[in-house]
């Protein structure tokens, strides 16, 4: 999920336990959640922002092979992870409160965010804005 504050984009650094790379707010569905509900919950959990994200772009999939440590959280036989894309606008002056998954953050221009983001698919979504 992309978090905007005016012309700036929030990029989060995953902690060492999470792979140590730059990413955006992300997470998984919990039982009974809609994609929008999961996005709002993850936003609050990961950065402390209570807001209703808006779905953008087409969903995409990752091969489970990219996430070997994540397999235990998936139903047996799962081969792909489906990702829905959201954007949310943070109020002026708002700063994130990071959870245990992240150890740093930056407010970036679009080009800076494109340089920092690790995965190509979120970069492609960012290019659509």
Residue pLDDT, tens place only, 23-42: 999 988 899 999 999 999 99
CATH number, domain at 91?
3.90.79.10
> CA-based angle 75:41:10, to the nearest 5?
110
Confirm whether 96 is domain-assigned. yes
Whole-number Å distance between alpha carbons of 52 and 25:
13
User: Which has the closest alpha carbon to 107: 86, 116, 99?
Assistant: 116
Confirm whether 63 is domain-assigned. no
Confirm whether 36 is domain-assigned. yes
User: Cβ–Cβ contacts within 10 Å for residue 66, how many?
Assistant: 10
Structure pTM?
0.88
Confirm whether 69 is domain-assigned. no
Tokens 């779905």 map to which residue? 55
Number of domains in the chain: 1
Domain around 115: 2-58+85-127
Confirm whether 75 is domain-assigned. no
Rg (Cα) of the chain, in Å, rounded?
A: 14
pLDDT tens-digit map of 30-80: 999 999 999 999 999 999 999 999 999 888 888 877 766 666 667 778 888
């Amino acid at each position: 999920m992309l978090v905007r504050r005016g012309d700036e984009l929030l990029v989060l650094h995953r902690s060492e336990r999470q792979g140590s790379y730059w990413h955006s707010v992300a997470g998984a569905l919990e039982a009974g959640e809609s994609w929008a509900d999961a996005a709002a919950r993850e936003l609050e959990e990961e950065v402390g922002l209570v807001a209703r994200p808006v779905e953008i772009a087409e969903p995409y999939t990752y091969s489970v092979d990219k996430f070997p440590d994540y397999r235990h959280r998936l139903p047996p036989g799962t081969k792909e992870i489906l990702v829905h894309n959201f954007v949310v606008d943070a109020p002026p002056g708002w700063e994130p409160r990071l959870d245990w998954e992240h150890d740093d953050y930056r407010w970036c221009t679009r080009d800076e965010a494109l340089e920092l983001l690790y995965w190509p698919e979120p970069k492609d979504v960012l290019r659509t804005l």
